[in-house]
């Protein structure tokens, strides 16, 4: 009952079994993945509860260093919307202070340093990856890129099986982008 979409260079033996084949340019998968990430974040389609419980999405990142904001005791910081202050959090995702309201998005000044949540940094960085850019780089239409993103978000259980073509330069980054899609949704 699963819908199988094959993104690939050529219509091969794997594509024969797919419900849909999308021909793409070599080494362009990452552009499509990041356009999908951008779409998810711009449209507030991420899985907030999962991100708060299982990731460091709410942790504060120092604007100047690009590093997670840390206290002298080694604890990280998140923003508490209730007190409008940074609060320390144990170095384990989801271990937030009792009664705190932890936003996933936002820019703040914490301990005298400009910072933003890790998810805000991702959203800002992903904003340049539009469906039009993905279309240009991948050799597909912007409408197809958007449809694939919508299909991903709306799927009850989406899964990316990769590895058949990702064995060349920068493929590790593409794997990270695929994993990011799963974590976001």
Classify strands 107-110 and 113-117 as parallel, antiparallel or unpaired.
antiparallel
Tokens 């779409």 found at: 39
Closest CA to 117 of 46, 54, 38, 57: 57
pLDDT string in tens for the chain (185-residue length): 888 998 888 898 888 999 999 999 988 989 999 999 999 999 999 999 999 988 999 999 999 999 999 988 888 999 999 999 999 987 655 577 777 899 999 999 998 999 999 999 999 999 999 999 999 999 999 999 999 999 999 998 888 877 665 556 667 788 889 889 999 99
Q: Where are the alpha helices (DSSP H) in 13-117?
A: 13-16, 29-42, 48-54
**Is the four-CA dihedral 58, 59, 60, 63 of positive or negative sign?**
negative
φ and ψ of 182, to 5 deg: -65, -45
Tell me the pTM. 0.90
């Amino acid at each position: 009952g699963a819908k199988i979409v094959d993104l690939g260079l050529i219509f091969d033996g794997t594509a024969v079994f797919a419900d849909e084949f999308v021909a793409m340019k070599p080494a362009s998968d990452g552009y499509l993945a990041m356009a999908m990430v951008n779409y998810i974040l711009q449209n507030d389609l991420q899985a907030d509860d999962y991100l708060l419980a299982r990731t460091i999405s709410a942790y504060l990142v120092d604007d100047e260093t690009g590093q997670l904001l840390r206290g002298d005791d080694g604890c990280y910081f998140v923003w508490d919307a209730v007190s409008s202050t940074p609060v320390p959090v144990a170095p384990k995702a989801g271990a937030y202070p009792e009664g705190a309201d932890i936003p996933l998005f936002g820019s703040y000044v914490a301990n005298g340093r400009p910072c933003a949540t890790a998810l805000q940094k991702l959203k800002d960085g992903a904003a340049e990856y539009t469906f039009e850019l993905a279309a240009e780089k991948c050799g597909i239409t912007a409408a197809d890129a958007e449809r694939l993103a919508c299909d991903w978000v709306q799927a009850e259980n989406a899964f990316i099986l990769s590895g058949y073509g990702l064995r060349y330069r920068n493929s590790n980054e593409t794997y990270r982008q695929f994993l990011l899609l799963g974590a976001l949704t």
